[in-house]
A = this chain, B = another copy of it.
Amino acid sequence: MPTYKAPVADMLFVLHDVLSLGTGAVPGYEDLDRDTTAAILGEAAKLAQEVLAPLNRTGDRQGCVLDKGMVRTPDGFRAAFDQLRAGGWPALDCDPAYGGQGLPYLLATAVGEMFSSANMAFNMYQGLTHGACSAIHAHGTEAQKALYLPRLVRCDWTGTMNLTEPQCGTDLGLMRTRADPQADGSYRITGQKIFISAGDHDLAENVVHLVLAKIPGGPEGTRGVSLFIVPKFLPDAEGRPGARNALSVGKLEEKMGIHGNATCVMDYDGATGFLLGEAHKGMRAMFTMMNEARIGVGLQGYAQAAVASQAAVAYARERLQGRAPRGAANLQGAADPLIVHPDIRRLLMDQKSFVEGARAFTFWGAQLIDEAERLPDPAAQGLVSLLTPVIKGFLTDRGFDATVAAQQVFGGHGYIEDSGMPQFVRDARIAMIYEGTNGVQALDLVSRKLGAEGGRPIRALFDRIDRLVVPQIGQDAAWDAEFLIPLQTATADLRAAALFFLDHAATAPEEVLAGSTDFLHLAGHVGLGYMWLRMAQAAREALAAGRGDPEFLTAKLATGRYYMARQLPLTRAHLARIKSGASPVMALDATAF
């Protein structure tokens, strides 16, 4: 069974050496010197390694059980959730006014990666709660905030998002769930919601459902959708769980993975709900949860690759098979370990260069969210809005590939469930789908985010890259060839793709949409390339200054070189596809498939 070792040193490098946590103007950052961060991450690592990771396989094998209308989570989940709560982990970045610790979202993201690597299905219970907190914090009345937030911040109660219905997923305008206004200002919610993660369980005393529904007589389509707070137990006057609300779990879905998380069909039979935010403005409120959730899902994508990759490295070091091409490396053994073989190295370097790049990219996104919220900085807001679909879509697509690559290192043993590798693959698969499929992320990117504010965010991204690259060029031929030119070339491909889209957006939307996923991947490679240059530069400077562990820093540089040499050439192929336009994609009649 795979074990998990939290990558604390890698995280500290990104947080402090690359993103300069502990310095700068962001409120909440200034107290976080390296020792403080290390202490927090070290505690989180213990919980992840010693409590959550050992439950991962149990969660997969046992799954959740629906028994007399109640969901029972796998053995050990309840005790682990108590430990999570006791450590105050769910409150890390929450508002101190409601019991939170007020630490940066950036730090919560680092901790979230560990918990997600250790046990993705388990961590979703608190992850969704965090999203519900954010939505109520942003859109709730003072009374709603006072009632729900302290309980959600502590995870005494947990939260859910209820969007999907059998006939409607992405297209929420097709929604049928109804919210009938009552004399006391509440609403009666009637309808069925599906795919509700953490929809019910035995880990907390109450479940607070945030439910999208239509108030009769409102506008058509998504403009008529409102958001409601629908608790499983209606809070009494003291805010304790009181009467059972008229909602029930219709079914637990049998899924490909994340078996430890209860994916519920939720039936609302005239349940009492309370409007959250304005009537008919539910989509906006829901997007407060959604954007955060999308970054969280991007994180899941690479977090599974991270833990799977650790297992692959361990196996490659241990398993003896064949001899190294440059001569036997393990003379006393009957064979050499797998890791001597170049094609195994390729698999491992693909994983390593992706995971470390993805971590830096996600952490940067989290930092932009902190800057947007805590400074506040509208430019940071625009940039992270642009990057959110890239973080979600690119990191989950490539994270799945990297998890499959980790499984591949095991040969036949990786296909056996006891190895733990199939679970990583099966769990990682959902991240490409939920919170908006990756196709929807690509659509969001090219049809909303790319042209937002007249294109200011994408120009801001290009400016940041140019400001980093251009002044350095021509000083060191190796540095130019290994880092600067590859990133500049890839960025030029992204610019060309953006221009192609701007030329066609108004007149030929299909030309844009046919290349949307390629654009998302192109942007993802540029994003990871940019972060690799930043990491390489930080490593190089630390080495020159004699700071840090030279082996660690040298490995960073080597891993960065790999990403530049072996991944960035893909941008050219993505651009070629984009430029081939809509006609190859749309040529066939729907009947001709």
Give me the interface of A with B, judged by CB distance under 8 Å: 164, 167-171, 173-174, 194-195, 253-257, 313, 317, 320-322, 325-326, 334-335, 337, 339-349, 352, 400, 404, 407-408, 411-412, 414-418, 422, 425-426, 429-430, 432-434, 437-439, 442-443, 509-510, 513-514, 516-517, 551, 554-555, 558-559, 561-562, 565-566, 569-570, 572-573, 576-577, 580, 582, 584-590, 592-593
- Chain B nearest Cβ from A523, distance in angstroms: 15
Nearest-CB residue, chain B, relative to A520: B343
B349 touches A588 (CB 8 A): yes
Q: Report the Cα distance A317→B589, complex, angstroms.
A: 11
| Residues in B neighbouring A589, C-beta threshold 8 A | 555
A584 touches B572 (CB 8 A): no
Known: A346-B517, A565-B580, A584-B349. A326 touches B429 (CB 8 A): no
- 10 additional contacts (CB under 8 A) given A194-B412, A256-B422: A167-B320, A170-B411, A253-B416, A255-B416, A342-B510, A342-B586, A426-B426, A562-B585, A562-B587, A566-B584
B346 touches A174 (CB 8 A): no
A-B contact pairs, 19 of them (CB 8 A): A168-B321, A169-B412, A171-B320, A174-B335, A254-B416, A255-B415, A256-B416, A317-B593, A342-B582, A342-B586, A343-B442, A344-B439, A345-B585, A408-B438, A415-B429, A415-B433, A559-B588, A570-B573, A573-B573
Nearest-CB residue, chain B, relative to A166: B413
- Chain B nearest Cβ from A524, distance in angstroms: 15
- Chain B nearest Cβ from A63, distance in angstroms: 11
Q: Report the Cα distance A589→B550, complex, angstroms.
A: 13
* 10 A-B pairs with the lowest CB-CB distances in the bound complex, closest first: A569-B576, A256-B422, A342-B513, A565-B580, A558-B587, A342-B514, A555-B592, A325-B509, A343-B439, A562-B584
| Residues in B neighbouring A346, C-beta threshold 8 A | 514, 517, 585
A343 touches B443 (CB 8 A): yes
Q: Report the Cα distance A341→B334, complex, angstroms.
A: 56
B569 touches A584 (CB 8 A): no
- Chain B nearest Cβ from A171, distance in angstroms: 4
Nearest-CB residue, chain B, relative to A343: B439
| Residues in B neighbouring A173, C-beta threshold 8 A | 334-335
- Chain B nearest Cβ from A337, distance in angstroms: 7
Nearest-CB residue, chain B, relative to A257: B415
- Other-chain residue from B169, B418, B555, B592 in contact with A411 (beta carbon distance below 8 A): B169
